[in-house]
Structure 1
Amino acid sequence: MPERFYGVRHHGPGSARAVVAALAEQRPDVLLVEGPPEADALVKWVADERLVPPVALLGYVADDPRQAAYWPFAVFSPEWQAIRWATAHDVPVRFFDLPYAYRLGREDEPADRPERPADPIGELAAAAGYDDPERWWEDVVEHRGAPAFEAIGEAMAAIRAESAEDPNDLVREAHMRGVLREVRKTHANLAVVCGAWHVPALTAKVSAAHDTALLKGRKKTKVTFTWVPWTYGRLASWQGYGAGVRSPGWYHHLFTTPDEVVTRWLVAAAGVLRDEGVPTSSAHVIEAVRLAEALAILRARPLAGLAELTEATRAVLCEGDELRVELIGRRLVVSERLGAVPDDMPAVPLARDLAAQQRTLRLKAEALERVLDLDLRREIDLGRSRLLHRLRLLRVPWGEPGDNYRGKGTFRESWRLRWLPEFAISLVEAGGYGTTVAGAATAKVTEDARAAETLAEVTPLVEVCLLADLPEAYPAVLHALDTRAALDADVAHLMGAVPPLARTLRYGDVRGTDVTSLVEVTNGLVVRVCVGLPGAVTSLADEAAGALRDLVDAVHAALAMLDDPALRDRWLEALGGLAGSDRTHPLIAGRVTRLLYDAGRLDADETRRRMGLVLTAGTPPSDAAHWIEGFLAGGGLLLVHDTALLSLVDQWLAGVAADSFTDVLPLLRRTFGTFAEPERRSIGERVRGGVTAAEPAAFALDDERAAAVLPTLAVLLGREIHHG
């Protein structure tokens, strides 16, 4: 039987069925498939039931894993089904595309090379009067059984005759023809499965000398190949001619559903909605099936396609709700099905170690995002936490901290998990640091610590060592921390280093980590902050003062976590000096006054006295507003309970000159706008009640003057105030 060429659409279920049927009829002696020949040794794995598509061949440069490429396969890919048939019938299989090793490092390729049509199938669809290539392919191939391979080849030849040739294609096809010549010497009955675009070039009569000239001068790069899991989401978004389809979930359904394609699809769509709590009955499904089939008849289609099913879903199941349509599109039309590879698949040692830990920790890689809540008091959850933190260090962000992430401060952690195919490359790249996840993470942190040039770069690594449990990295990190801290005289940098160190000291016991070596470093930093803080708070612009105020809050909160009264006293003494200095920026002066009051270092009378000194006619309104902003940053509950303080603010506000009021209004609105709604309501009720002094009996309310203030208070509090 003569050789046969099966020109297919990559990832076309109709092509996949037709190829299998044709191979069963031809019974070839050898099968040639478009793909990288370096992966020939991996063909045998296709027969292994543990290799579950979607999967991809991953090729990368051994010395530079960042240079990598993928060849994805779905269960409905014609190439996959052809290889499956061949391995089941003991037919030798060879990939016969240009070796990936020859495609790398080519500097002589023309930058302005002509491009082939973006999608030859689209050209054919347009010629047939279709505006959607996938819809045309469904009508003429997917819903009609077997494609006419000869007719498709002729159509491609016609398109190529009118299109500019891509030099890359010419080189690839020259190599393919060379392999064909070689195989013909030993086999007469051979089958070729390749993209339909290449069939005219492979069947053309071209001399061996011509092809040799095209391939001359190419150097080979050392590359490595393996199988890796893939997802339908990545298949849908994959770039390049013939490499992706918009609806892989739909094509999977077409290929794997033997009958009742329309009904089963709409039943699945109803299931997606039910999973989200949307009531969807059998009557909905029945009506949707009728509508989809009616649309197909009106449009003279052999079977309701995805367009008709989507319209029926939108109208009947989703009742016009586009969000529900998008949900079905994401879950069903595209799908996030994730493939699987055998545990003993050839891979870098780091990937094998990760796979072993995933089994031990019962942490399955999934393509759909899911939330994982951990209790760090459980050994298995602690292990999961450490693994996820280590992978983030290695730039494999399988897990991202959730919105309610509290892992550094409590026994609870929340993560959002989602495995992406490109993490396979990240593992290859990280494999240079070690053969295990723990070893590689330790080496990465050590390298980062030694390369850190500033204190801000090295400080987070201390906390990282805690979260990821990397005790062997501590010596290098602490040495770098000590060195950078000694050389850094910027108080803001020193203050920024204190919170992560304090968290490490406070919560090391939660994770079973010895952190005693950090005590001396942390104490030294806090002392240096206390000494340098007075000079850092003077002559500040408003924006810089705001940044320093945030640092003061962070250090104050961090020291509250430590069981070190002497260190905390030292800090509060430094804050007391700032509060009493007229050189301190008013925003910071107000903030430290509030911190001292909350810490019991200032009583209520002294606090009122200090506020009274600030809120006088001699103080510029903008300075007073900044002081108020800093003081009330802790919330408005203090004004609710201390009517004397509320009275001081009220009296000062009433005395602000009209020409200054517009300048301070944004600051005050920002301050009062941070209050919780119940706090603003209580303050408003107190103002409306006319009692804002500590001694109500001694305070005479002028109704007319009070009414004049109410509109301004309404603006500040963000709520309407009624005077009655």
Structure 2
Amino acid sequence: MTVFTAGPLLLGVRHHGPGSARAVRAALEAAAPRVVLIEGPPEADALIPLAADKEMRPPVALLAHVVDEPGRSAFWPLAEFSPEWVAIQWALDHGLPARFIDLPATHTLAWGKEEPPPESDLPADEPDLSADEAVRIDPLGVLAETAGYDDPERWWEDVVEHRSGAGSDPFAPFAVLEEAMGALREAYGVGGHDRDLVREAHMRLQLRAAQREFGDEVAVVCGAWHVPALRQKTTAGADRALLKGLPKAKADMTWVPWTHRRLARISGYGAGIDSPGWYGHLFAAPDRPVERWMTKVARLLRDEDRMVSSAHVIEAVRLADTLAAMRGRPLPGLTETTDAVRAVMCEGSDVPLALVRDRLVVGDVLGEVPESAPAVPLQRDLARLQRRLRLKPEALERELELDLRKETDAERSRLLHRLRLLGVEWGEPSASRSSTGTFRETWRLRWEPELSVRVAEAGVWGTTVLAAATAKAESDAVAAPSLADVTALAERCLLAELPDALPVVMRVLADRAALDADVGHLAQALPALVRSLRYGDVRGTDTHALTGVAVGLAERIFVGLPPACAALDSEAAEDMRRHVDAVQGAVGLLGETSRTSPGGVQPSGDGPAPRGIRGRWHSVLRVLAGRDTVPGVIRGRAVRLLLDEGELAQDEAARLMGLVLSPGTAPGDAAAWIEGFVGGGSGGGMLLVHDERLLGLVDAWLTGVPAEAFTDVLPLLRRTFSAYEAGVRRTLGELVRRGPGAPGRTAVATSGIPGFAPDLDPERADAVLPVLSLLLGLDESDDGDSEDSDADENNAENNADNNLVEVAR
């Protein structure tokens, strides 16, 4: 067994290098030191024993954050193939102490507070670049260039990763690397890394303290860039002088899960590597790494229904070996294996190759941390909920379908909504592909290491997810900059089921609504508020308090909208047209709610039939449609909405269009009216297809536009008609090409157009119901059809059936 004779053993490594990790393990086995010193924050010494826990699975990271400002944080990631992790495991396996000797996190987090918080310890072998400091050198890049390589990664693989350790001196690679780094430090000094002088001073002090306790039987595992500085002879007084006066911040530290994908990112982390999955494979493969890698690739491609056989694997290995020999490399590296996979298994295509890179070269491995690791109370409550609801954090993005009629799914939904309100974006809502019912929710889940910091930040609001989300919602309501923000917050409170926060939000909402006189702001706020009323049925949330506020908001919009639509320029008119569309959708929902809500509007006695809030809205639309001072795009949209609601006959709509398209109206105003009537995603194209009277009016007007005015209205018309689907545009073109009086160019009321008849054919309409039921998923059997389905679900299904009949007819 080798015994130390000439000072401490300095093992200079590359962070996250599997070759360095193997070399460190071999050197420690040969040297058998009494203590192992590792580059890292000393505050984490108490956390080192957790690395031996059977529930600890790398990649993991040490997370340090300021106690009073959790957003200021720093990470020290460690993978299974990181030399530092190997050194920690070796020390724990042999019952020896392991200590971190880098600059304490209390200084790292406080140093340069005006700058973005650091994400790592700025590893020396791949220094982080910063525009506001001197030009920094890349030690690996310089050494690779000196050796005649244009790629530092390839050089490192050739001299370190592919180096066989059998029968060789375990200390030789470290001696060679120390000599090379010493030459670089002589030529470049600190190479632009001024902060390294302070870090290295602290490392030397820690090294001296260990030598006083254990003699020279000390091993140090650190970035190779630091080795010459640690070998340098300096006085303890000089080192302490460099550390004097450093700023401090009270910091907490713990272990958090990390991911291979996050290791591969360069932003902020100086030792970010390009291929953590490949490095992990090299470290774990006992022999024949290329053959084992090609087998992994083949298995992945087969799982994706690619035709890959054993012959493909054999040919890919042969090609990789051939490429390595032609390029003068000792063994095939990632470049050779990638080229071989592309040529043999992917048939020259980069599409399946991108999958190989994403799943294998980078990988979606997510580490695990034991429950005994220190954590803020909010983190512990979140972990408890994740276990109870069986929502395990995963690095690979996955889609989660929730049925809110099931208690477990409803709780999952509430948890994800509460986390989003706290700024913990673990899940992102997405459109459901299987159902459009309000009892369905679809989420895309993906856990990122940074979310641990977000949880720590959210811990200032409470010790549980519910308490923290409630406090955060109340604070956001008071600080909300606009009325629309408050209504959106009310909707989020209902989704997250925060009953204690809702009264505060509602009070702020009522105060803001009473003081805000801007119709645009009110129109922006109403849709989110009315959408919130829908959640009472499925989620069992009491939304009666919202109904009165929503109705009052709608009434104020009805009063203020006509004056607000007068004398607007084209841009403001387009914005107001969008507000009108939003209010139209909101009133449709609000009208249904108000008929059954205690806080709703009771039907009035005016007119031939009970009108209610929808009747009030129709009156507003009639005012907008008939005022000449209202921009054409708004008047056209008002007419169209009345027509769709059955409040305006087709003959009257055609008359109004004829008036607008008469020679007395300026072409620009007429084009704007047309855009409002049939533009955008309102289905105006199908309206023109089915009602050739309207199409004829548009056609006649367009052919009569003077040449000097045509160029002015053309962009507006192109924007209007380009929004139609290709089939609708093609049908309109065919109808226009036939011309007036041609077959199929008569009124819809005749049978001249194929597929249309003067009267409804009930038998043909009923024939399509089974197909529509299948397309809409109404025949699916789910928990909603069971005996415990409530009356609201039955009513919803009955309404859907009725709507289906109307669609078919």
Q: TM-score category by the smaller chain? A: over 0.9
Measured at CA, do residues 620 and 202 of structure 1 come closer, stay the same or move farther in structure 2, by a change above 3 Å?
same
Q: 2:271 corresponds to which residue?
A: 243
Taking the aligned partners of 1:694 and 1:45, their CA distance within structure 2 comes to 81
Over residues 634-686 of structure 1, what are the superposed CA-to-partner deviations in whole Å (9 max), with x where a residue is unaligned? 22222222222222222222322222222222222222222233333333333
Aligned residue among 348, 352, 355 for 2:383:
355
**1:46 CA drift (Å):** 0.5
Q: What amino acid is aligned across from residue 65 of structure 2 in structure 1?
A: Y
2:690–2:748 contact (8 Å) kept in structure 1: no
The 5 A counterparts of 1:123-272 are 123-146=142-165, 148-165=173-190, 166-188=193-215, 189-238=217-266, 243-272=271-300
Q: 1:25 corresponds to which residue?
A: 30
Measured at CA, do residues 599 and 240 of structure 1 come closer, stay the same or move farther in structure 2, by a change above 3 Å?
closer
The 5 A counterparts of 1:427-506 are 427-506=455-534
Over residues 252-281 of structure 1, what are the superposed CA-to-partner deviations in whole Å (9 max), with x where a residue is unaligned? 000001112101111212223233332222
Q: What is the count of residue pairs matched by the alignment? A: 697
**1:297 CA drift (Å):** 2.0
SS in 2 for 1:237: coil
SS in 1 for 2:510: helix
Measured at CA, do residues 404 and 518 of structure 1 come closer, stay the same or move farther in structure 2, by a change above 3 Å?
same
The 5 A counterparts of 1:18-167 are 18-106=23-111, 114=134, 116-118=136-138, 120-146=139-165, 148-165=173-190, 166-167=193-194
**1:499 CA drift (Å):** 0.6
Over residues 14-44 of structure 1, what are the superposed CA-to-partner deviations in whole Å (9 max), with x where a residue is unaligned? 1111211221222221111111000000000
SS in 1 for 2:301: helix
Over residues 65-96 of structure 1, what are the superposed CA-to-partner deviations in whole Å (9 max), with x where a residue is unaligned? 12211101000011101101111111011111
Are 2:721 and 1:672 equivalent residues in the alignment? Answer: yes
Taking the aligned partners of 1:536 and 1:52, their CA distance within structure 2 comes to 62
Question: What is the percent sequence identity of the aligned residues?
Answer: 57
1:374–1:382 contact (8 Å) kept in structure 2: yes
Are 2:551 and 1:548 equivalent residues in the alignment? Answer: no
**1:622 CA drift (Å):** 1.6
Q: 2:599 corresponds to which residue?
A: none
1:376–1:511 contact (8 Å) kept in structure 2: yes
Aligned residue among 618, 623, 639 for 1:593:
639
Q: What amino acid is aligned across from residue 405 of structure 2 in structure 1?
A: R
Over residues 484-524 of structure 1, what are the superposed CA-to-partner deviations in whole Å (9 max), with x where a residue is unaligned? 11111111111111111111112322222111001111111
Q: Name the stretch that deviates more: 239-248 or 310-319.
A: 239-248
Q: 1:711 corresponds to which residue?
A: none
Q: Name the stretch that deviates more: 82-91 or 182-191.
A: 182-191
**1:627 CA drift (Å):** 1.3
Taking the aligned partners of 2:23 and 2:401, their CA distance within structure 1 comes to 47
Taking the aligned partners of 1:114 and 1:685, their CA distance within structure 2 comes to 68
Are 2:652 and 1:603 equivalent residues in the alignment? Answer: no
2:74–2:109 contact (8 Å) kept in structure 1: no
Q: What amino acid is aligned across from residue 174 of structure 2 in structure 1?
A: F
2:635–2:673 contact (8 Å) kept in structure 1: yes
SS in 1 for 2:488: helix
Are 2:567 and 1:539 equivalent residues in the alignment? Answer: yes
SS in 2 for 1:226: strand
Aligned residue among 692, 696, 700 for 1:643:
692
Taking the aligned partners of 1:203 and 1:666, their CA distance within structure 2 comes to 74
2:379–2:455 contact (8 Å) kept in structure 1: yes
Q: 2:403 corresponds to which residue?
A: 375
Taking the aligned partners of 1:407 and 1:454, their CA distance within structure 2 comes to 33
Taking the aligned partners of 1:53 and 1:553, their CA distance within structure 2 comes to 53
Q: Name the stretch that deviates more: 31-40 or 121-130.
A: 121-130
Q: 2:549 corresponds to which residue?
A: 521
**1:305 CA drift (Å):** 1.1
Q: Name the stretch that deviates more: 564-573 or 431-440.
A: 564-573
Are 2:631 and 1:578 equivalent residues in the alignment? Answer: no
1:406–1:414 contact (8 Å) kept in structure 2: no
Measured at CA, do residues 48 and 575 of structure 1 come closer, stay the same or move farther in structure 2, by a change above 3 Å?
same
Taking the aligned partners of 2:618 and 2:22, their CA distance within structure 1 comes to 77
Q: 1:320 corresponds to which residue?
A: 348
Measured at CA, do residues 371 and 539 of structure 1 come closer, stay the same or move farther in structure 2, by a change above 3 Å?
same
Q: 2:747 corresponds to which residue?
A: 694
Measured at CA, do residues 308 and 696 of structure 1 come closer, stay the same or move farther in structure 2, by a change above 3 Å?
closer
**1:169 CA drift (Å):** 1.5
Measured at CA, do residues 489 and 312 of structure 1 come closer, stay the same or move farther in structure 2, by a change above 3 Å?
same
Taking the aligned partners of 1:687 and 1:116, their CA distance within structure 2 comes to 69
Measured at CA, do residues 494 and 19 of structure 1 come closer, stay the same or move farther in structure 2, by a change above 3 Å?
same
Measured at CA, do residues 406 and 279 of structure 1 come closer, stay the same or move farther in structure 2, by a change above 3 Å?
closer
SS in 2 for 1:228: strand
Taking the aligned partners of 2:15 and 2:567, their CA distance within structure 1 comes to 68
Taking the aligned partners of 2:538 and 2:39, their CA distance within structure 1 comes to 55
Taking the aligned partners of 1:225 and 1:675, their CA distance within structure 2 comes to 57
Q: 1:567 corresponds to which residue?
A: 613
Q: Name the stretch that deviates more: 471-480 or 100-109.
A: 100-109
The 5 A counterparts of 1:501-512 are 501-512=529-540
Measured at CA, do residues 485 and 596 of structure 1 come closer, stay the same or move farther in structure 2, by a change above 3 Å?
same
Taking the aligned partners of 1:171 and 1:674, their CA distance within structure 2 comes to 63
Measured at CA, do residues 354 and 532 of structure 1 come closer, stay the same or move farther in structure 2, by a change above 3 Å?
same
Aligned residue among 662, 678, 692 for 2:711:
662
2:64–2:74 contact (8 Å) kept in structure 1: yes
Q: What amino acid is aligned across from residue 329 of structure 2 in structure 1?
A: R
Taking the aligned partners of 1:551 and 1:326, their CA distance within structure 2 comes to 43
Taking the aligned partners of 2:490 and 2:180, their CA distance within structure 1 comes to 64
Are 2:452 and 1:424 equivalent residues in the alignment? Answer: yes
Taking the aligned partners of 1:399 and 1:229, their CA distance within structure 2 comes to 17
Q: Name the stretch that deviates more: 585-594 or 506-515.
A: 506-515
Q: What amino acid is aligned across from residue 164 of structure 1 in structure 2?
A: G
Taking the aligned partners of 2:73 and 2:269, their CA distance within structure 1 comes to 18
Over residues 539-579 of structure 1, what are the superposed CA-to-partner deviations in whole Å (9 max), with x where a residue is unaligned? 01111111111111111112212313611111111111211
Over residues 194-249 of structure 1, what are the superposed CA-to-partner deviations in whole Å (9 max), with x where a residue is unaligned? 11111122122211222122222234321110001111121122457862221111
Over residues 289-314 of structure 1, what are the superposed CA-to-partner deviations in whole Å (9 max), with x where a residue is unaligned? 00001122223322211111111112
Measured at CA, do residues 43 and 679 of structure 1 come closer, stay the same or move farther in structure 2, by a change above 3 Å?
same
**1:113 CA drift (Å):** 5.8
SS in 2 for 1:185: helix
Are 2:670 and 1:624 equivalent residues in the alignment? Answer: yes
Q: What amino acid is aligned across from residue 590 of structure 1 in structure 2?
A: G
**1:694 CA drift (Å):** 3.4
1:31–1:93 contact (8 Å) kept in structure 2: yes
Q: What amino acid is aligned across from residue 274 of structure 1 in structure 2?
A: R
